[in-house]
Amino acid sequence: MRRMTTTAAPVLDLDAVRARFPALAQTVVDGADGEVPVVHADAPGGTQVTAGVIAAMTAYLQTMNANSHGCFPASTATDALVEAVRRKVAAFVGGQPEGVVFGANMTTLTWHLSHALDTRVGPGDELLCTRLDHDANVSPWLALAERTGATVRWVALDPVTGRLDLDTIDVSDRTRLVAFPAASNALGTVVDPAPFVAAARSVGALTFCDAVHAAPHVPLDRAAADVDLLACSPYKFFGPHAGVLSADPDLLAELRPDKVRPAPDIGPDRWQTGTAAFEAIAGVGAALDHLAEFGMEAVVAHERTLTRRFLAGVAQLDHVTLHGPAEEHGRTPTFAVTVRGHAPDEVARALAARGVWVWSGDYYAVEPMRALGLADGGGAVRIGFVHYHRLEDVDRVLALLADLDRGA
């Protein structure tokens, strides 16, 4: 979302990065090659965490474990921690700390938000969704439309390029919400928020951006992009399982979330149903410290080399089809492939048996899989890298995909 500078990008110290992640030392015994390191190539499903994240969560439980808004030291320390991590999240996604809401995960936060929009949407109104989104940015809006009598319109996905057809961004004075992704968890496509925001602004609609897949790959700036609401999931950016919503504090104050009567009536706490997972919030702070230390520009530059390597390698494999953007720009190092003669599930199992862990199926990206005609064939195999992967990890995946040509 942020404009990148054209000066030379900082180089990522990959050894230093990898040393932070204890899980990257995991090995398995591969029947063919003996003991090999695990390649965690399911980053879009969840990334590994740093030792700092583990330490922060443990320290919280050992020294601060308490509920919020009490008068004793562990409780006031918990409140201070939450505020400190809100500031870090705000710096990471772009926005104000008072607009940061913590939740169980992105899906839960989005459903919660969708209920708060019930009073803003009525019969005959329209909601705009895209065919590129994960279902967490689709189902809550379909349900909102059903509850309120609104209609859902769709932005089409070009199955060849793996990019949204911007000509199908169709809004009217009845449009109340424009929901779009910052990047696709299925195809790796990065989406520019500008046309969605411009369309929404032209008719006074709210914008909601699913930044779950983008967060570990693309610098975000919700406020600069003028997006009203943005959600992401720290477990996809090297933190623990949790969700985060960022919004303008005034908008959060205007909307009416479901809440119990004694819970705070002002501020982001008003949106956090029940007690937050404070130990997870401690971990989120440590994950963001890690990213701030290495810097997103270095992350982006390193991921570009991984992307280039994979795209060049997969282009040599006639029996493997890449679905989604074939060019290295405007995409993350997340690749959906199908392999001639092998079902996606079979490919994922074959790779897992050799220590390469990937996902297969639709990964809840129901609309993209339908648009690409893959829904009835078991979806695709998703291979996803992040900044802690090495070129040799990419090569290993490519070599195993090449092996699958035998017997096809």
Ligand X SMILES: Cc1ncc(COP(=O)(O)O)c(C=O)c1O
Distance between first and last Cα of the chain = 42
Q: Using CA of residue 331, residue 131, residue 40, residue 281, what is the dihedral sign?
A: positive
Q: Which residue, chain included where needed, has tokens 């600069």?
A: 224
Does residue 339 touch ligand X according to CB under 6 A? no
**Can you tell me which of 96, 175, 185, 189 binds ligand X, judged by CB under 6 A?**
185
Residue 283 binds ligand X (CB under 6 A): no
Choice between 107 and 130, CB closer to ligand X: 107
Closest CA to 210 of 123, 114, 84: 114
b/e for 214-252, b at 16 or more Cβ within 10 A?
Answer: bbbbbbbbbbebebbbbbbbbbbbbbbebbbbbbbbeeb
Instruction: Report the residue number, 210 or 248, with the smaller CB distance to ligand X.
Output: 210
Residue 119 CB, nearest approach to ligand X (Å): 24
Q: Please, which residue, 100 or 404, has the CB nearer to ligand X?
A: 100
Is residue 279 close enough to count as binding ligand X by CB under 6 A?
A: no
User: What is the rounded distance in angstroms from the CA atom of residue 87 to the CA atom of residue 89?
Assistant: 6
Stretch that binds ligand X, among 100-108, 166-174, 222-230, 246-254 (CB under 6 A): 100-108
Residue 188 or 378 having the CB closest to ligand X: 188
Name which of 74 and 143 has its Cβ closer to ligand X.
Answer: 143
Q: At 152, list the tokens.
A: 């859902």
Closest contact distance (angstroms) between CB of 202 and ligand X is 26
Residue of the chain from 47, 50, 107, 207 that contacts ligand X (CB under 6 A): 107
Among residues 94, 216, 243, 324, which is the contact residue for ligand X, using CB under 6 A? 243
Binding-residue total with ligand X (CB under 6 A) = 12
Q: How far is the CB of 136 from ligand X (least distance, A)?
A: 4
Q: Which of residues 126-155 bind ligand X (CB under 6 A)?
A: 134, 136
DSSP state string for 256-271: -----TTS-SSSGGGG
Window of 67-75, 91-99, 158-166, 205-213 that interacts with ligand X by CB under 6 A: 205-213
C-beta of 86 vs 134, nearer to ligand X: 134
Q: Give the nearer residue to ligand X in terms of CB position, either 215 or 298.
A: 215
Single out the residue of 202, 296, 213 nearest to residue 9, CA to CA.
Answer: 296
Q: Is 387 in the site for ligand X (CB under 6 A)?
A: no
Helices (H) and strands (E) in the chain, counts: 12, 17
Phi, psi of 18 (to 5 degrees): -65, -30
**Strands annotated E in 72-144:** 100-103, 126-130
Nearest to 213 by CA among 265, 129, 135, 145: 135
Q: Which lies closer to ligand X via its Cβ, residue 145 or residue 183? A: 183
| Residue range at the interface with ligand X (CB under 6 A); choices 103-111, 256-264, 308-316, 321-329 | 103-111
CA 175 – CA 164 distance, rounded (Å): 19
Q: Please tell me whether residue 106 binds ligand X under the rule CB under 6 A.
A: yes
Residue 119 amino acid letter: T
Residues at the contact surface with ligand X, assessed by CB under 6 A:
44, 105-107, 134, 136, 185, 210, 212-213, 233, 243
